[in-house]
Amino acid sequence: MRDPFVGRALGLVLATCLGSNFAGHSVRADDRPRFWAVTGVAPGDVLNLRDVPHGDSKKLAGIPPDTRGLKHLGCLTPEPSLDRWMIMTESERINAKLQWCRVEYRGMQGWVAARFLKPDP
């Protein structure tokens, strides 16, 4: 029997090493942005930096809406196992399809929702 944790861990490593764009397709390392800027976060709100790529995971920090220069460490779209998918709620299924990017912010590394990032030239 295949361990779903091992599959996810392997997927995470591959996605981080290979990198990806917002459409979820693999791209050459030279084509991906080196840095991100925060976009779409309301003034007075923050982009949550999380310990794992999931909206319910531990919050490590709040990144202000005007932040630039977040170091790009790789992106992925987590894929739950079929067994897990079958018991997920509709909300969990929607969240499972979201793309996440690993970034470095003020010396901390963590995950943010990719929809709140844009390339920072």
Q: pLDDT tens, 24-75?
A: 434 344 567 899 999 999 999 999 999 999 888 999 999 999 999 999 999 9
- State the pLDDT at residue 38: 98
Q: May I ask the CATH class of domain 4-119?
A: mainly beta
Q: pLDDT tens, 5-27?
A: 545 544 444 444 444 333 343 43
Q: Which residues contact 46 (CB under 8 A, 6 or more apart)?
A: 62, 63, 64, 65
Contact predicate 54/88, CB 8 Å? no
| Residue 28: both structure tokens together | 């050459």
Burial 59-86 (b: 16+ CB within 10 A, else e): ebeebebebeebebebbbbbebeeeeee
Q: How far is CA 65 from CA 30, 40, 41, 48, 117, in A?
A: 27, 8, 5, 10, 10
pTM over 0.85: no
- State the pLDDT at residue 55: 86
Adjacent-strand bridge partners of 44: none
- State the pLDDT at residue 71: 98
- State the pLDDT at residue 54: 85
Q: pLDDT tens, 77-106?
A: 888 899 999 999 998 888 788 899 999 999
Domain spans, the chain: 4-119
More confident residue, 115 or 1: 115
- State the pLDDT at residue 30: 53
- State the pLDDT at residue 113: 96
| Matching residue, tokens 């599959």 | 7
